[in-house]
Structure 1
């Protein structure tokens, strides 16, 4: 039997540099001590603090900063079994993770009584479906002052994952609706002044930053060319909220149609409830520079989350149908109740074929894919 620990370090280094997912890096490191010494974790060398607004013109002091963290969206499964579990993890301290709702940032708690304190994923099939980055404000002053830079969707891009010299870019959406970019090399936030309508979403696709505004105008951001934006295709009009999703190598634009209605519950305070009525899906034709409507996603499933949208194949998900969009519908009632991190009543399923929107039933097989943890996960604690 081959002694894998004796592989040349140069070869191990070349293998490690081709690992794109955190889960692959963790598995690589678990082989033996010599392999672990080659690949550090986490691979991205984030600075502890990112300046909030070093070029403020408001006269306010600028001691505030952001801390950057990463969430992993994983499908866990047993080899040869269709029973899986969708989970979002946030590393709170080294080797410890928080479990979050896959479609929001809410922490799931309390966990079931028999939930294991330690998960050994070496015997588990792990598929990374997506990742999101979060900027959290930290300051010694009162929390009410948060500066000028505001995060919604946060995109992180690095050209030197394994380099000892970090070099990365962060793209997010400014409180004004404009795009904001932080360059590690320049150590400065820059707001891009090209606003026609407020931006809804940003994504990093095939080495470039893309963004879409509320009017359906999609742009690519030329980071190396004075932060110029260029329209990628004619605008997509009609909907109320736009999402950019990468799916099977394609860039999709999802257009969400929403109507407002007064909540009829007389015992609650007056509020306006937004209802989703349909979605339209388009894919970018890079050559023709046009959005092409997609009427059938086939086996693909789209998940639209608060800070991250991702795609998967229904055949890999327990009981979930293909050609559907799973999304979170927030009501006035649920916003007033204490959030335990997971509420099936907020998850809806849109069928792209017939246009129907259904509640995700707690009794359905697919709901078990979201929560509760499957029996084989619980068995790890016994």
Structure 2
């Protein structure tokens, strides 16, 4: 590496590591573990044989500790083991990497609940600690996305009229922070690096997408969902895609390390946004209207010599969508599963106000991106995997090593809408093989999913890397 260049780690603000969960702060010596009973020494006479010597807990062999760590499904249990003593912490690090722990459900206010092997969520909520600078501010700080162990946070104006004032990426475990440009900051329209262009969308009839970078923004942005292409630790390989919904305007904002402002994309195709995802090295956006559903693929290129990026091509992909029973309303979520793109469709009835409040059918389709038009094939198995869906994140996960049942989809989902009258979240688990549904996440208080002004606050699934 050229010594004159900064490594990705240099671009990250590092804070003193803090535990994600409350755990014992005291560190014992290698001779004992806090909280464990000390065996009493029996009374012996002179003729009695010498009692067996008890080895200290800190001398527990590293290979045994490695087996224990591999069987701990919850990330907080692993944190407690590492905090017991220096010997255990060192042994946990030296052993082979254990399977990823079960995910956490992080609510908008950064409180979280752990997913358990029984297929339920812990009822007691704890809070991911925020560094002082990120926690401070006049507005409300909320979580709007995740990638592996990283969370995406924004600070919004309390009146919701000025958009988001700040945006940052934070590692929930190391407390490392990457600060992004302010979503709603005014920029200089005469900047020498400013660019603004209208791109024709390939395979469509005259539809255009407008892209602007380092120019005066059209208005305030309020992020509802943020997706990452890779970990922020990858440096310029990490691309951030954020969907903004503010004042009846929907925009797609793009950023990568080195950029001083967002590349903002807008147009009629973005206005019908449903979901956005990175898959197989490309950015895909799914949108829907009363007439059709559209899948758009984006190609990104360097925007300038300072690490910026720009949209160089947008293509509308023709799709052969499955038939939908008349009288049902459908919502779509996009999930990457083993390198494949899945569409999880939920159906609600628009004929009965009561039925409108719940999902009545779920179907899962695999999208063949190599065909033109894109074909969708319904599948009835996830090969033992599970899918976790929320408004801010959708991800597949293989939980069988912890005894969790497979071929299940866990929903705590709603619509990315600033409407105060949006319907409540659907909270259920769906069995892909037999089509049955059951309630899920009943222990999450409703007030944790709704802001004081009535707007739904969207949770996100967080998947710790270890």
Q: 1:82-161 maps to which residues of 2 (within 5 A)?
A: 83-84=73-74, 85-88=102-105, 99-101=111-113, 111=125, 130=148, 133-138=151-156, 142-146=159-163, 147-157=219-229, 161=233
Q: 1:1-382 maps to which residues of 2 (within 5 A)?
A: 40=9, 45=12, 78-81=68-71, 83-84=73-74, 85-88=102-105, 99-101=111-113, 111=125, 130=148, 133-138=151-156, 142-146=159-163, 147-157=219-229, 161=233, 163=235, 168-175=239-246, 176=248, 178-183=250-255, 185=259, 187-195=261-269, 198-214=272-288, 215-224=292-301, 226-236=311-321, 238=324, 240-260=330-350, 261-262=352-353, 274-288=357-371, 289-318=374-403, 320-328=404-412, 347-360=427-440
**Contact map agreement 2:113 2:123 (CA 8 A) in 1:** no
Change (3 A) 1:102 1:150: farther
Question: How many pairs does the alignment contain?
Answer: 252
* CA apart distance, 1:277: 1.2
Distance 1:133 1:361 in 2: 21
Distance 1:358 1:160 in 2: 37
Q: Which runs of 5+ in 2 are unaligned?
A: 14-19, 21-66, 75-101, 116-121, 130-145, 164-218, 302-309, 415-419, 444-466
**Contact map agreement 2:147 2:230 (CA 8 A) in 1:** no
Per-residue CA distance 1:191-240 (angstroms, 9 max, x = gap): 33242871111011222111111343211112337454213341535352
SS in 2 for 1:79: helix
Return the index of the structure with the highest Cα Rg: 2
**Contact map agreement 1:278 1:350 (CA 8 A) in 2:** no
Distance 1:310 1:167 in 2: 18
**Contact map agreement 1:129 1:311 (CA 8 A) in 2:** no
* CA apart distance, 1:168: 4.4
**Contact map agreement 1:220 1:232 (CA 8 A) in 2:** yes
* CA apart distance, 1:257: 0.9
TM-score (norm 1): 0.52
Matched residue, 2:79: none
Per-residue CA distance 1:76-110 (angstroms, 9 max, x = gap): x94353754532569x9xxxxx542479xxxx986
Change (3 A) 1:88 1:356: closer
* CA apart distance, 1:144: 3.6
SS in 1 for 2:380: coil
Distance 1:354 1:109 in 2: 28
SS in 1 for 2:400: helix
Change (3 A) 1:276 1:197: farther
Distance 2:261 2:105 in 1: 30
Q: Which runs of 5+ in 1 are unaligned?
A: 1-9, 14-37, 47-70, 72-76, 93-97, 118-127, 264-271, 331-335, 337-344, 364-382
Per-residue CA distance 1:272-297 (angstroms, 9 max, x = gap): 95211122212222322423222221
